[in-house]
Amino acid sequence: MCCCGASHLIRPAHSGSVRAVQAGPVTRRRFVAGAGLLVAAAVTGCTDSDDPTAPAADRTLPATEATGTGTGQDIDPTTPPDAADADLVAAVLQDEDRLVTAYRIHGVGRPDLRRELDTLADHHRSHLRVLGGAPAQAAPTTPRVSPAVGVRRLRQLEAGAVEQRRRDAVAARSGDLARVLAAMAASSAQHVVVLERLALTFGKSDRS
């Protein structure tokens, strides 16, 4: 049995063992998973000597909060990227900053949208911080389009960001940077879903 008694999502029912997953950064050398990966929950410093298929102790996955993937707010900036990744990081920073600005523009004077859009913009601010950047502080201009059009434009921008970050993740030399870029792609994909839901609420109020 697992020594630390942490809860696991899903594990082979016949086995009393849990494949060990420790907290720590993932590198190529340290990567591991196992069927127990799905069960990786928050297992810290816990190894299982009963299970011959358990990964070696030095091969780890990041422990995450049992409730989910976290906000990214507390993630340390990635290790200095490969010099070969410098141009890539610069381009991503520029793109993420444009997204933050777009959210600020389309949230101006729209209290009904503001809260939802602020949450999504905060994610992009986290992306900037993780890559060592900071959002520009330019004052946003008042949007010249309706909220419905604004949401549609944001959705378009996010859909473009999904594809671009996916390509960036594959292109990155550093594995850790690739992981962050892939997570950014996933974040923008979540934003697309949220913005589509928002667009639907506009559709409903238009009909009423």
Distance in angstroms (rounded) separating the CA atoms of residues 60 and 34:
11
Q: Please identify which residue in 43, 46, 63, 88 interacts with another protein, judged by CB under 8 A.
A: 63
Helix, coil or strand: residue 68: coil
- Of 61 and 151, the one with the shorter C-beta distance to another protein is 61
Distance in angstroms (rounded) separating the CA atoms of residues 94 and 91:
5
> What is the footprint of another protein within residues 77-116 (CB under 8 A)?
none
Contacts 24+ apart (CB under 8 A), 11-16: 11/35, 11/36, 11/39, 15/51, 16/50
- Of 11 and 98, the one with the shorter C-beta distance to another protein is 11
Closest CA to 97 of 137, 135, 141: 135
Q: For residue 57, what is the DSSP state?
A: T
Q: Please identify which residue in 164, 189, 199, 201 interacts with another protein, judged by CB under 8 A.
A: 189
- Per-residue x/- mask for another protein, residues 131 to 170, rule CB under 8 A? -------------------------------x---x--xx
Q: Please identify which residue in 2, 43, 46, 61 interacts with another protein, judged by CB under 8 A.
A: 61
Burial of 199 (0-12, 13-18, 19+ CB in 10 A): middle
- Of 62 and 160, the one with the shorter C-beta distance to another protein is 62
User: What is the nearest approach in angstroms of another protein to the Cβ of residue 144?
Assistant: 27
Structure tokens belonging to residue 39: 């069960």
User: What is the nearest approach in angstroms of another protein to the Cβ of residue 114?
Assistant: 16
Q: Please identify which residue in 113, 131, 185, 198 interacts with another protein, judged by CB under 8 A.
A: 185
Q: Are 164 and 95 in contact (CB under 8 A)?
A: yes
Q: Please identify which residue in 3, 4, 10, 86 interacts with another protein, judged by CB under 8 A.
A: 10
Q: Please identify which residue in 4, 45, 49, 69 interacts with another protein, judged by CB under 8 A.
A: 69
Q: For residue 60, what is the DSSP state?
A: -
Helix, coil or strand: residue 159: helix
Closest CA to 31 of 39, 21, 41: 21
For position 43 contacting another protein by CB under 8 A, the verdict is no
Binding site for another protein (CB under 8 A): 7-15, 23, 25-28, 31-35, 37-41, 61-65, 68-76, 119-120, 122-123, 126-127, 130, 162, 166, 169-170, 175-176, 178-180, 182-187, 189-194
